[in-house]
């Protein structure tokens, strides 16, 4: 296997040369890559979601589908497999598939934070977009929840932000399925506005969730876009995200359209990777 074990297997050097670490705090394990926290999971309480954007995704899933109902989920990007664990705990027996580029990262995560023994979580390895054509044909039109949380280092590759990509994803969603996308941006928010315009064009009406300071471009952070071909009406979502830390706000589709300011969908020919925090605000160290 293309990885080097260090520090009692709590740190590994991946085939990519990046360094992954699992930092333990009781039952909580934080996954860090090159020193940057990427994901966190509580092995004793998979419903405890530490990262705000992941918690926001969890709220959407809770409100979009009846409590306890099994769902079919497709995840692009693995991290510490936090959302797949959350779904399995809240909705036992759900069918889930996860696509992740770095197999050795997933193997490390599963070694230090094993998945539930009987969970139906199938792993696939490779580029998220390229692997879509390798998914079972029977999955098309059946996915209830499709989660896109793809990063290479600190950036989302441009080829998984485009109209062509999201049109391909739509083929997997059932008519009332929900797409959840994690978008990182700041300042003029040009990247986020372009990707959200793309999602609305390819999938349908969208809700946006973020810290108000992120919406205003005052700091770099995460915006969760939730979209569905059928539209989303999630009473209680605004209250849930406002009561968390940090407090967040929700833009419904009408407000989202105004916030976009006329941004156009992004096509493959024009795609760029997401910005780094330093590229957005400059080096203030």
- Asked, for residue 85, whether it belongs to a domain, the answer is yes
- Asked, for residue 179, whether it belongs to a domain, the answer is yes
Question: 181 with 195: CB under 8 angstroms?
Answer: yes
Question: 75 with 114: CB under 8 angstroms?
Answer: no
Instruction: Give the chain's mean pLDDT.
Output: 93
Helix, strand or coil for residue 28? strand
Of 7, 45, 15, 47, whose CA–CA distance to 28 is shortest? 45
For residue 6, pLDDT over 60 is answered with: no
Q: How far is CA 237 from CA 187, 208, 232, in A?
A: 26, 11, 11
DSSP secondary structure code for residue 114 in this structure: P
- Asked, for residue 280, whether it belongs to a domain, the answer is no
Q: What is the CA radius of gyration of the chain?
A: 18
- Taking only the tens place, the pLDDT of each residue in 24-60 is 999 999 999 988 889 999 999 999 999 999 999 999 9
Q: What pLDDT is recorded for position 195?
A: 99
- Taking only the tens place, the pLDDT of each residue in 231-240 is 999 999 999 9
Measured torsion, CA atoms of residues 136, 137, 141, 146, in degrees rounded to the nearest 10? 30
Structure tokens at 150: 């793809």
For residue 1, pLDDT over 50 is answered with: no
- Asked, for residue 70, whether it belongs to a domain, the answer is yes
> Which stretch of 5-14, 41-50, 80-89, 171-180 has the lowest confidence by average pLDDT?
5-14
Read off the pTM: 0.93
- Asked, for residue 219, whether it belongs to a domain, the answer is yes
Q: How many domains does the chain have?
A: 1
For residue 143, pLDDT over 70 is answered with: yes
The predicted model gives 65-73 an average pLDDT of 98
The predicted model gives 80-104 an average pLDDT of 97
Q: What pLDDT is recorded for position 279?
A: 59
Q: What pLDDT is recorded for position 285?
A: 30
- Asked, for residue 35, whether it belongs to a domain, the answer is no
Of 203, 226, 212, 222, whose CA–CA distance to 259 is shortest? 212
For residue 283, pLDDT over 60 is answered with: no
- Asked, for residue 215, whether it belongs to a domain, the answer is yes
Structure tokens at 279: 């590229």
Alpha-carbon span 192 to 216, nearest angstrom? 12
The DSSP element (H or E) to which 73 belongs, if any, is strand 72-76
Question: 11 with 4: CB under 8 angstroms?
Answer: no
Q: Which domain holds residue 248?
A: 51-274
DSSP secondary structure code for residue 152 in this structure: B
- Asked, for residue 143, whether it belongs to a domain, the answer is yes
Question: 176 with 228: CB under 8 angstroms?
Answer: yes
82: domain CATH number is: 3.40.50.150
DSSP secondary structure code for residue 31 in this structure: E
For residue 71, pLDDT over 50 is answered with: yes
């Amino acid at each position: 296997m293309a990885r080097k074990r260090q520090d009692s297997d709590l740190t590994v050097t991946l085939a990519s040369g990046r360094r992954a670490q699992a930092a333990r705090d009781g039952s909580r394990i934080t996954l860090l890559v090159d020193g940057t926290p990427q994901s966190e999971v509580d092995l004793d309480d998979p419903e405890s979601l530490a990262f705000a954007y992941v918690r926001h995704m969890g709220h959407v899933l809770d409100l979009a589908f009846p409590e306890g109902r099994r769902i079919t989920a497709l995840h692009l990007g693995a991290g510490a497999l936090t959302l797949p664990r959350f779904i399995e705990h809240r909705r036992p027996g759900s069918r889930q598939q996860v696509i992740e580029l770095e197999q050795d990262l997933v193997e490390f995560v599963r070694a230090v934070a094993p998945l539930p023994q009987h969970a139906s979580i199938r792993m696939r390895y490779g580029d998220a977009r390229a692997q879509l054509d390798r998914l079972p044909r029977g999955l098309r039109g059946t996915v209830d929840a499709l989660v896109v949380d793809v990063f290479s280092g600190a950036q989302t590759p441009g080829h998984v932000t485009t109209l062509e990509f999201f049109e391909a994803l739509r083929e997997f969603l059932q008519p009332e399925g929900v797409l959840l996308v994690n978008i990182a941006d700041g300042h003029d928010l040009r990247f986020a506005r372009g990707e959200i315009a793309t999602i609305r064009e390819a999938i349908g009406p969208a809700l946006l969730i973020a810290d108000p300071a992120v919406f205003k471009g005052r700091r770099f952070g995460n915006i969760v876009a939730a979209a569905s071909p059928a539209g989303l009406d999630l009473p209680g979502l605004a209250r849930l995200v406002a009561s968390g830390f940090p407090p967040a706000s929700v833009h419904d589709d009408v407000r989202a359209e105004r916030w976009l300011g006329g941004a156009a969908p992004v096509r493959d020919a024009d795609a760029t990777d997401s910005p780094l925090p330093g590229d957005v605000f400059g080096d203030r160290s």
